[in-house]
Structure 1
Amino acid sequence: MDPVVLQTTVDGLLDTFAGYVTNVIGFVVGFLATYLIGRFVLVPLVRRVLQRRGFDRAVITLADSVVAAVVVVLAVSIGFMSAGFPRFLTAAATLGGAVALAVGFAAQDLVGNFVAGVFIIKDKPFDVGDWIEWNDNAGRVEDIDLRVSRVRTFDNERVTVPNGELANNAVTNPVAYDTLRQQFVFGIGYDDDIDRATDAILEEAEAIDGILDDPAPSVRVTELGDSAVGLTSRFWIDDPDRADFVRTRSAYVQAVKERFDAEGIDMPYVHRQLTGEVEVLEDVADRAVTADGGEGE
């Protein structure tokens, strides 16, 4: 081979190799510089901002993961640009948009529950340990995840509820405040003394430890039923845990029932009166036979 041609080939290979080395060095430098700045500056900065604004730990952890992923993608993009491939960013953005669109259509419910979980953790309509009611369901919250919340029912069953259902529907939190008002309707007979029954209901409420004196219990006539006069008792309980609420309510109703029995106050139940005629089947059959015999003659 001609020495000149050989020298030219060697020089070309060296130039190509030097170009590759330059590209690799550019990629490594761009990637490391971007990654280190993002990892040790951007991520801690986002974390401190969220902590100062009082966000929950789950939200901060989620933000750390998202920012870390963004930093890696950005570092790879800057690395390729530093290596002399400026079109990589455009291609990556196009591919990323297509992937995001496909994933969004395939997992829109999952993404919706995920976003709802973020808002539940941020807004705190309820906390772990709270007793909540939603869509004719009730239970105590055991865990709040980013996708689902786990609720233990009062029959000791676990219900896994998508966060979207809790975020998009009305949720009642009876233990959100320090006190809870309850009411119960006591029915008395029309011939009974309303004032006497009212005094008995209030005295029994004041004797129950779980019922507060302030606000004081109250009784109002609210119903004139078919067989009874309805007296609605409204009372407040402190630190409204469901177990205490059920026990207090049961003790109160039982005490009023026993007081009414002792004082001769009637608690009537609904009466139904049937009117009309009742015929015995034998009589009907006899008349039918008689009628047939008469026709035969």
Structure 2
Amino acid sequence: MEFSIASQITQPLQKVGEKLQGWITEAITMLPNLLAGAVCYLFFWLVARAVKRILGKAMGKYSDNKVLQNLFTTIAYYSVLGLGFFVVLEILKLEKTVTSLLAGVGVIGLALSFAFQDIAANFISGIILAFRRPFQVDQIVEIGGVMGTVSRTNLRVTVITTFQGQEVYIPNKDVLQNPITNYSILGQYRIDLAVGVSYGDDLEKVEELVIDTIKNLDGVIRHEDMIFTYTGFGSSSVDFEIKFWIEYPDHPGFLEMRNKAIKAVKKAFDKNEITIPFPIRTLDFGIKGGADLSQMSVRVLSKEKD
């Protein structure tokens, strides 16, 4: 009985010892390959860093697009590391592992393509924007109703700092799908200023005065493209618009020029006794079919007090 118990304990221990001995033998046998794999991967890592640095310098000579530079240098870096990883697996004689990894990468890639459609769409849109370059950092743009200065971009989002001092993160997919207005690319902006004058003023004089006033403002350009048009008969004024062009370095510059134009027109009107009327209502009882107010008899009804 004691012999059978001892044999039951000894046999498993013997099998464990044999297994450990086999692992140690295999490890010793694989040790040269492990060292060769480590040296090989270190080599590929150094090569990847060198390729990233050299490619970055080379692209910097031909393009100042930081997004494209980061994109291509990052792709090159991880491509070299990936190649080194598969070479190491071959050195370690793990061919089946290589095949399984390639198959797994395909399956995982297919699954991730469905799970992260928005991320992939933003990434691809970021690449398209990097090539097309509809705007650059520090330019004033309006995208999807958001207006401000482009502070930074990457392959996922475009960051706009609004004129109220807030940062808005717009996914690149939405940037690509919405109209993009770039106010800085031409460096010019047209201001449309609406004003009204009284019906008693000389309209020819008003037009000449307003055009001369705007032309004499510093910062107004393209004088030949200035447009003055009367737009209609308002309830208390004859309305007009003056359209003129300015240099557009930034949004505060636009606000300052509009402010200067309003003050200059008001000052010119005051000097030449031209009126910008308040909203008024005129009661005319002498129209056809009516009677003048002065000719109407007014009766006052009084109630006798008890």
TM-score by length of 1: 0.72
Q: Quote the offset at 1:252 in angstroms.
A: 0.6
1:232 match: 241
Greater shift after overlay, 145-154 or 243-252?
A: 145-154
Letter in 1 for 2:239: G
1:183 is the counterpart of 2:192: yes
1:129 match: 138
Letter in 1 for 2:173: G
1:20 match: 30
Cα 1:29/1:152, change in 2 over 3 Å: closer
2:220 match: 211
CA distance in 2, matches of 1:164, 1:273: 56
Q: Quote the offset at 1:156 in angstroms.
A: 2.4
Please tell me the root mean square deviation across aligned C-alpha atoms, in Å.
Answer: 3.4
1:202 is the counterpart of 2:211: yes
Q: Quote the offset at 1:144 in angstroms.
A: 2.4
**Could you list the runs of 5+ residues in structure 2 that have no partner in the other structure?**
1-17, 284-306
2:298 match: none
Identify which of 225, 232, 243 aligns with 2:252.
243
CA distance in 2, matches of 1:49, 1:147: 25
Question: Is contact 2:226-2:245 (8 Å) kept?
Answer: no
Letter in 1 for 2:229: V
CA distance in 1, matches of 2:27, 2:168: 62
Cα 1:90/1:199, change in 2 over 3 Å: same
Q: Quote the offset at 1:224 in angstroms.
A: 1.8
Cα 1:48/1:143, change in 2 over 3 Å: closer
**Helix, strand or coil at the partner of 2:246:** strand
Cα 1:154/1:17, change in 2 over 3 Å: closer
Task: Give the percent of matched residue pairs that are identical in Structure 1 and Structure 2.
Answer: 23
CA distance in 2, matches of 1:49, 1:104: 33
1:144 is the counterpart of 2:153: yes
Question: Is contact 2:125-2:176 (8 Å) kept?
Answer: yes
CA distance in 2, matches of 1:57, 1:137: 24
Q: Superposed, which structure 2 residues align to 1:53-202 within 5 Å?
A: 53-54=62-63, 56-202=65-211
**Could you list the runs of 5+ residues in structure 1 that have no partner in the other structure?**
1-8, 275-297
Question: Is contact 2:192-2:241 (8 Å) kept?
Answer: yes
Letter in 1 for 2:118: D
CA distance in 1, matches of 2:278, 2:106: 69
CA distance in 2, matches of 1:16, 1:159: 58
**Helix, strand or coil at the partner of 1:50:** helix
1:256 match: 265
Greater shift after overlay, 197-206 or 121-130?
A: 121-130
Letter in 2 for 1:223: T
CA distance in 1, matches of 2:43, 2:130: 34
Question: Is contact 2:150-2:160 (8 Å) kept?
Answer: yes
Q: Quote the offset at 1:196 in angstroms.
A: 0.6
**Helix, strand or coil at the partner of 1:172:** strand
Question: Is contact 1:139-1:151 (8 Å) kept?
Answer: yes
CA distance in 2, matches of 1:223, 1:269: 18
**Helix, strand or coil at the partner of 1:59:** helix
Cα 1:273/1:19, change in 2 over 3 Å: farther
2:274 match: 265
CA distance in 1, matches of 2:234, 2:193: 18
Aligned length: 263
Cα 1:158/1:55, change in 2 over 3 Å: closer
CA distance in 1, matches of 2:161, 2:45: 44
> Alpha-carbon deviations, 1:194-242, whole Å to 9, x = none?
2211111112112322223x44462332512443433321212124321
TM-score by length of 2: 0.70
Letter in 2 for 1:110: I
Cα 1:27/1:207, change in 2 over 3 Å: same
CA distance in 2, matches of 1:16, 1:267: 98
Cα 1:225/1:86, change in 2 over 3 Å: farther
1:220 match: 228
